[in-house]
Amino acid sequence: MLDAKVRPWIEAPLNRAGAAFAERGISAHEVTLFGLFMGLIAAAMLAVGLPGVLALVPLLIGRLADGVDGAVARATEKTDFGGLLDIVCDFVFYAAIPLAFAFRDPGNAAAAAFLLAAFYINGASFLGYAIMAEKRGIETRAQGEKSLYYSAGLLEGTETIAFFVILCLWPGAFVALAVIFGALCLFTTGARLALARRVFR
C-alpha cells in the first residue's frame, strides 16, 4: 500500500548510491547477497535472544542493500537472473525473521508458524499474479522499475519492514503482532485474487 508513495522519495538517493557502487565495480548480485547476509545476521541475533534493538542495525542495513541492488543493476546491466536472485533472497529474509522468533521463545512457535503460512500464501498470490501479468504483457512502474510485475496490496515491502522493526522494538508482543499481520497478509491475498479475477478474465 505504501511502496508507491515511498518510492518517489527514495528513488533518487538509491540511484545515486547504485551508480557509486557500480563505479567501484561492485555488482548488483554482490549487493543482493550482502543484503541477505545482513538480514540473516539480524535473524540470528533475534534467535539467540539478543536485544531486538541491536538486531535493527543489520536488519536495516540489509533492507537498504535490497533497495540499492536494483539501482546498481540499472546503472550497469539488468538480468533476469538478478531479478530472480533478488526475489528469492527477499523471501528467505522474510521467512528468517518469524523463524528467529520461534527459536527465541518456544511460546512464539504457533504464531510464527501462522505468520510463515500467511507469508507463503501471500507470496504465492504475488508471484502467480506476476506470471499472469507477464503472460498478458501487463506492466507497471508504480513501485519503481522491477524485474517482474509488482501487484499492489494492503501489505507490501514497506509495511513488512515496518512490521519487523516493531517486532525488534517490542519482541515480547510477537504473538499478538504476528497474528494480526498474518491475518492482514491473508486479506491481501484475497484482495489480490479478487483483482486477478477481474483483470485476467
Write down the residue that cell numbers 548488483 correspond to.
28
Which grid coordinates are listed for 56? Answer: 535493527
pTM, entire model: 0.85
Type of residue found at 117: A
pLDDT of residue 17: 82
Which grid coordinates are listed for 72? Answer: 546498481
Topology (CATH) of 3-199: Four Helix Bundle (Hemerythrin (Met), subunit A) (1.20.120)
Q: Are 100 and 106 in contact (CB under 8 A)?
A: no
CA separation for the pair 101, 111 (Å, rounded) = 9
CA separation for the pair 166, 31 (Å, rounded) = 25
Q: Are 63 and 9 in contact (CB under 8 A)?
A: no
Q: In 3-state terms, what secondary structure has residue 7?
A: helix
Type of residue found at 29: H
Query: Rounded to whole angstroms, what are the CA distances from 170 to 47, 49, 163?
Result: 14, 13, 10
- What parts of the chain have a pLDDT lower than 50? none
Which run of H or of E encompasses 186?
Answer: helix 174-199
Helix axes 174-199, 80-104, angle to 10 degrees: 150
pLDDT of residue 169: 96
